[in-house]
Each structure stands twice: as structure tokens, then as C-alpha cells.
Amino acid sequence: MTEPLTYPIVRAPGLKGTRTQAGSWIAGANKVSDPYLSTVKLVASQNLPWKTGRPAAAELAPDSSWYAWVNAEPVPNLPYFNAYGDITIHLKACLWLCYVDSDGPEVGDGVLLPGSPDPSSLDRLGGARFIPSGQQADRIEYKMADKVVFDVGPVDPIAGGQRAVGLVSDIWNSPVSHFQLSGQVGNVPVAHCGTTQPPAGRTWSLAQEYWNLFYRRIAGKTTTCDPTDWTDWSSPAA
């Protein structure tokens, strides 16, 4: 998970890993028609470790001809296990006599928005979700949620700019962000089989979940996820 705009495909018998399902909004920054949004996205993209004019960015733009071609094809009848980042910006602000303290926009992993789980989707802003035919025992999505706080504060151009920079830094450094996840897969918690929380006193990471899936396949068990099977690399059975 080190490439700037794609997740790797994990290959194993009977298992298919994640893919960038509908592209990245950053890759399409130069093609957004709205003048305000295109300016914001272009500035953001120019300050990141890649440029939107490169060939890979053109293909990974949500409305690229590559996605129009690929997403029109039916997906194979295989197990799919997909993890996606979902960072929520929690807003705090004092506006006259009202105090705002609530969840605001979701920005995905900072590069990929959650988007639609439909494999044929051509969402204008792209997305990382991918789950053909909905959640099943052998087709599971793992939402890796995190939250960053943005204190809007009083109207002050200088302080406001500093707070905005701080917000970008918080998103960048989130363990589920596109830039940090490769080193945090053993720390990011997920629900087992997408829905089951670990027993009291135990944590369950994305790395443990994927290890469990591979273990079940290699051990000759089914490719489905079993919410009662908590085998990982520390288990005697492994």
C-alpha cells in the first residue's frame, strides 16, 4: 500500500484483494468543471507528491475512459474483501449565540473518498468502496474510521489559515489515511467479518483480519469469513 494513487491487488487462491474502484478526486483535479472546486483541488494536488498531468493520474481520474471501459465489465464471481479509509471532520464553532459541535464532511482516506460500493459506478468524485452484490460472508467491506477535529474559531484570516493547515496535517497523519495506512495495518482496528466486535480485552486489526482470511484458505477451510473464528498469528492453531 505504498503507491500514491492505488492500493495493491492481493492475489491468493480464491481470494481477491482491494482495488481503486472508481478513481481519485485528486487525479481528476484538472478536469472538474466548477471553477471553485477545480482551483481548490488543483492547489491541493500541486502540493502533494504527484502531479495530475502524469499518465497514471489521467487513468485514475474518476471520469477517465479507462474506468468507463473497466467498470462496464462484469466482475468475476469470487470472494472480495475490501478495506477503505473514512476520516470524518468533526466541526467545532461558536457562531453568535449558537455553538456547533458535530460531525461534518467525510473525506475518505484523504485521496480516495468512500464512494459507491457498486462495481459499475462512475461516481464523479471517484471512490474506494467495492462490494459486488452487497455484503456477504465471502464479500466484505471493512470501514476504517477515524475522526479529526476542526475548530473553526473566530474569523481571522491568519489564524484561520493556520487552522486549515493543521486540519490538512491531521488528515495526512491519520492512521487510516492513504499516506499512513501502509505502516499502520497492524494497528487500525476493524470489525471481524465486517460486523463483529472482538471479545472484551482484545483488539482486532486489519492485519489480523486479512491474516485470518488467508489462514482459513490455506488450512483448507472455506473462503468465507467466520465470525466465531478468531485465529491469528498468535493462536496455537496457527
How far is the first Cα of the chain from the last one, in angstroms, to the nearest whole number? 25
By percentage, how much of the chain surpasses pLDDT 70?
72
* Spans of the chain, pLDDT less than 70: 1-21, 27-54, 56-57, 95-97, 153-160, 236-238
d(CA 160, CA 151): 9
Spatial neighbors of 131 by CB under 8 A, at least 6 apart, are 80, 82, 117, 139, 140, 141
d(CA 44, CA 230): 41
Of 231, 189, 235, 184, the C-alpha closest to 212 is 231
d(CA 58, CA 65): 9
Please state the length of the chain.
238
d(CA 218, CA 216): 6
Instruction: Report the pLDDT value the prediction gives residue 129, as an integer from 0 to 100.
Output: 92
Instruction: Report the pLDDT value the prediction gives residue 22, as an integer from 0 to 100.
Output: 75
Strands 80-95 and 139-151: parallel
What pLDDT, in 10s, does the model give residues 54-70? Answer: 676 677 778 788 888 88
Spatial neighbors of 109 by CB under 8 A, at least 6 apart, are 84, 85, 86, 87, 128, 144, 176, 177, 178, 181
CB atoms within 10 A of CB 225: 22
Spatial neighbors of 159 by CB under 8 A, at least 6 apart, are 153
